[in-house]
Amino acid sequence: MTDELSHLIGLMDMAKVSAKVRRRNKERVNQGLCLCCDKAPWRRGLCIAHYAAFLRKRNSLSKLSRGKFLLECERKGLVLAPRESEQIRSKDPFKEIA
């Protein structure tokens, strides 16, 4: 196995989000709250201020470090994966009936 492949496998393992974090994030999204404070979320589950702070930190890192940083933030529940809030909020009205 190459070093690059083992590195990618390690990053995938790191990206696993615990059930506790998923539940917390789902509650925050359904309540219309930022993952980090009680303001309304704007992007990726964060309010404008926290999203800007996230982008500043991400953009200050090298490309390799950015991926690692992003996966760690998602794993810890500090930011949602792209389009995750849409998936959480979308409800099938027929699911509860059938």
Confidence of residue 82 (pLDDT cuts 50, 70, 90): confident
Q: Tell me, what's the pLDDT at 92?
A: 65
Confidence of residue 64 (pLDDT cuts 50, 70, 90): confident
Query: Over 70: is that where the pLDDT of 37 sits?
Result: yes
Closest CA to 45 of 56, 36, 55, 58: 36
DSSP 3-state of 11: helix
Query: Over 70: is that where the pLDDT of 10 sits?
Result: no
Measured CA to CA in angstroms, residue 52 lies from 8, 24, 25, 44 at distances of 27, 22, 19, 11
The model's pTM is: 0.72
Backbone φ and ψ for 43, nearest 5 degrees, come out as -140, 140
Residues whose CB is less than 8 angstroms from the CB of residue 6 and which lie 6 or more positions away in sequence, other chains included: none
